């Protein structure tokens, strides 16, 4: 049996996953800590003896003792003279109760121990030592003036290093003057949308399916948004032409989420459309560095630097918490975007910018990518093999790239039910429904494999199998 869920008399809901690489005492600690934080386990209440809880949960007593000791050391539990243990008072957040705001996110993360959700690189592989070397170097060597307010485009060192890197690796046509550093792609979108809205863009086309955040930000900036269907060759350019949009947001190197590549014919037609309509192409190049079978196609930007506003991020290659992103902006829009960047936050943190510049310049970024590609490729291969073996009715599409696989569900299987069944079994997985902007099609799953060890990936696919069976069998 995969996992066992148990509600012990004490009101404690414990979901133990016997096959998890997370030790049982840690799983138990998480459940008890969560119960205390959310108020399910009341302050002052006496906890069951380690022997009884061990019996209820089918664990060895040592596991429970270890969990109790840890939580006592952390101050969640207090051991009393006479050998019993109680919940510390005052630990529950005021007003917190299951289902009430503040304490919920942690419990969701903790309860679902296997997470196939998209978008997370393996941050345990972050190149800390190399990053530290870059930090040390820039802190030692940068001129004092770099610590003042900077140009809205960012530190000159970073703009130069990014222009070099992007031109070399992604085939862009960047100069340090039209690079703008920002806090991830999220901020790129937040800066771009108001600026293009005040520069004459009225209707923005987006790929359907695609990420919804940009759509919300575009609408908030006053743009009308239209979804354009995605085919296996990328966006349907004929449908785009009919849409009368003035700008489009695309992911040409690796369509998000379906994983296809914009074909060379479609690239040509897209650029012709932009020229005919005097339209702007927003290119989201979020994960092109991870292509596992061949060299990725170059960025569209290189073909039409006046028509394409290019955006990239370190969130997939290094870590999302860095909040490092960049744009290569057509000359006519650079000043407006840089001015808005100054207005909203006076520029991104400069030490990070300088460290990243050094990291790019000294080759550490290339080295990191060379190290990570085989790791992710192996995980992807494990996922594909496990899917072929265990869930052959899923239909994976797209190229060998990035940090996720997208797979269609059989047409008769409702996506929401599959996702709910997986969750009940302790697996977080995303569906395609949330990425749709008007078109409807069969359901599909996004399986983010990058941060999972190979055995976790196999187990995750096993849970998908059981979730499908649950739905098929009406369970
Ligand atoms: C399509 C797409 N583009 C870009 C990003 C990166 O966003 P950010 O740089 O804000 O972390 C993501 C993150 O998941 C994404 O899904």
Q: Please give the domain boundaries of the chain with CATH numbers for all domains.
A: 3-111 (1.10.10.10), 125-366 (3.40.640.10), 368-472 (3.90.1150.10)
CA distance 416 to 422: 10
Find out whether the beta carbon of 285 lies less than 6 Å from any atom of ligand 1.
no
Residues written for the chain:
475
Q: Hey, whose CA ends up nearest to atom 7 of ligand 1?
A: 185
CA 292 to centroid of ligand 1, rounded, Å = 20
* Backbone conformation region of residue 474, classed left if phi is above 0, alpha if psi is from -120 to 50, else beta: left
**pLDDT for 194 beyond 50:** yes
φ and ψ at 247, to 5 degrees? -155, 155
Bridge-partner residues for 182, per DSSP?
A: 325
Closest ligand 1 atom to the C-alpha of 184? 9
Find out whether the beta carbon of 320 lies less than 6 Å from any atom of ligand 1.
yes
Q: Hey, whose CA ends up nearest to atom 12 of ligand 1?
A: 286
CA distance 246 to 100: 43
Find out whether the beta carbon of 119 lies less than 6 Å from any atom of ligand 1.
yes
Q: For residue 237, what are the contacts with CB-CB under 8 A and spacing of at least 6?
A: 266, 269, 270, 273
Find out whether the beta carbon of 287 lies less than 6 Å from any atom of ligand 1.
no
Find out whether the beta carbon of 283 lies less than 6 Å from any atom of ligand 1.
no
Closest ligand 1 atom to the C-alpha of 189? 10
Share of the chain above pLDDT 90, in %: 72
Closest ligand 1 atom to the C-alpha of 187? 10
| Residue pLDDT, tens place only, 323-376 | 999 999 999 999 999 999 999 999 999 999 999 999 999 999 999 999 999 999
CA 186 to centroid of ligand 1, rounded, Å = 7
**pLDDT for 258 beyond 70:** yes
Q: Cβ–Cβ contacts within 10 Å for residue 416, how many?
A: 11
Q: Hey, whose CA ends up nearest to atom 6 of ligand 1?
A: 185
CA 315 to centroid of ligand 1, rounded, Å = 7
Q: Cβ–Cβ contacts within 10 Å for residue 129, how many?
A: 8
Sign of the dihedral through C-alpha 353, 358, 359, 360: positive
CA 286 to centroid of ligand 1, rounded, Å = 6
Closest ligand 1 atom to the C-alpha of 211? 1
Q: Hey, whose CA ends up nearest to atom 3 of ligand 1?
A: 286
Give me the pLDDT at residue 3, please: 47
Which of 286, 323, 324, 348 is the pocket-test mutation for ligand 1 (most atoms within 8 Å of CB)? 286
Find out whether the beta carbon of 68 lies less than 6 Å from any atom of ligand 1.
no
Give me the pLDDT at residue 8, please: 59
Give me the pLDDT at residue 92, please: 62
Give me the pLDDT at residue 322, please: 97
Helix axis angle for 128-141 and 364-390, nearest 10°, is 160
Which of 117, 180, 191, 211 is the pocket-test mutation for ligand 1 (most atoms within 8 Å of CB)? 211
Find out whether the beta carbon of 186 lies less than 6 Å from any atom of ligand 1.
yes
Q: Locate tokens 């007593």: which residue?
A: 61
| Residue pLDDT, tens place only, 394-440 | 999 988 899 999 999 999 899 999 999 999 999 999 999 989 998 77
Strand extents, DSSP E, 273-376: 280-284, 308-313, 325-328
Q: How far apart are the first and last CA of the chain?
A: 16
Give me the pLDDT at residue 268, please: 96
**pLDDT for 217 beyond 80:** yes
Find out whether the beta carbon of 253 lies less than 6 Å from any atom of ligand 1.
no
Give me the pLDDT at residue 28, please: 87
Taking CA atoms, 206 is separated from 247, 265, 282, in Å, by 9, 19, 10
Find out whether the beta carbon of 178 lies less than 6 Å from any atom of ligand 1.
no
CA 430 to centroid of ligand 1, rounded, Å = 15
CA 257 to centroid of ligand 1, rounded, Å = 11
**pLDDT for 107 beyond 50:** no
């Amino acid at each position: 049996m995969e996992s066992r869920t148990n509600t012990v008399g004490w009101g404690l809901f414990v979901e133990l996953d016997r096959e998890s690489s997370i030790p049982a005492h840690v799983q138990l600690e998480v459940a008890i800590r969560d119960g205390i934080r959310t108020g399910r386990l009341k302050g002052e209440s006496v906890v069951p003896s380690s022997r009884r809880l061990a019996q209820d949960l089918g664990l060895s007593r040592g596991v429970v003792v270890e969990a109790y000791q840890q939580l006592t050391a952390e101050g969640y539990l207090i051991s009393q003279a006479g050998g019993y243990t109680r919940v510390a008072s005052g630990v529950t957040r005021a007003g917190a109760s299951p289902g009430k705001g503040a304490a919920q996110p942690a419990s969701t993360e903790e309860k679902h121990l296997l997470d196939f959700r998209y978008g997370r690189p393996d941050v345990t592989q972050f190149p800390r030592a190399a990053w530290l070397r870059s930090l040390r170097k820039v802190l030692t060597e940068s001129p004092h003036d770099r610590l003042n307010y900077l140009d809205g485009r960012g530190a000159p060192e970073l703009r130069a290093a990014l222009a070099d890197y992007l031109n070399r690796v992604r085939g862009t046509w960047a100069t340090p003057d039209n690079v703008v550093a920002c806090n991830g792609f999220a901020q790129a979108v937040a800066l771009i949308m108001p600026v293009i809205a005040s520069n004459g863009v009225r209707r923005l086309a987006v790929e359907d399916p695609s990420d919804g955040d940009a759509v919300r930000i575009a609408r908030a900036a006053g743009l009308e948004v239209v979804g354009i269907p995605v085919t296996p060759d990328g966006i349907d350019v004929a449908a785009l032409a009919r849409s009368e949009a003035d700008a489009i947001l695309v992911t040409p190197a690796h369509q998000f989420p379906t994983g296809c590549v914009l074909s060379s014919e479609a690239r040509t037609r897209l650029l012709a459309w932009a020229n005919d309509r005097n339209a702007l192409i927003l290119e989201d190049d979020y994960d092109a560095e991870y292509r596992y079978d061949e060299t990725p196609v170059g960025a569209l930007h290189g073909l039409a630097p006046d028509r394409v506003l290019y955006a990239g991020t370190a969130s997939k290659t290094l870590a999302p918490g860095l909040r490092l992103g960049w744009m290569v902006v057509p000359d006519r829009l650079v000043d407006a975007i840089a001015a808005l960047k100054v207005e909203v936050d006076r520029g991104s943190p400069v030490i990070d910018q300088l460290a990243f510049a050094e990291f790019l310049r000294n080759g550490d970024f290339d080295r990191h990518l060379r190290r990570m590609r085989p790791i992710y490729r192996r995980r992807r291969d494990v996922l594909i093999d496990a899917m072929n073996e265990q869930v052959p009715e899923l239909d994976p599409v797209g190229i060998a790239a990035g940090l996720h696989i997208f797979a269609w569900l059989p047409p008769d299987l409702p996506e929401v039910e599959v996702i709910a069944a997986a969750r009940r079994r302790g697996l977080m997985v995303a569906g395609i429904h949330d990425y749709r902007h008007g078109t409807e099609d069969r359901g599909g799953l996004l399986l983010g494999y990058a941060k999972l060890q190979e055995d976790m990936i196999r187990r995750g696919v096993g849970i998908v199998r059981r979730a499908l069976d649950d739905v098929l069998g009406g369970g």
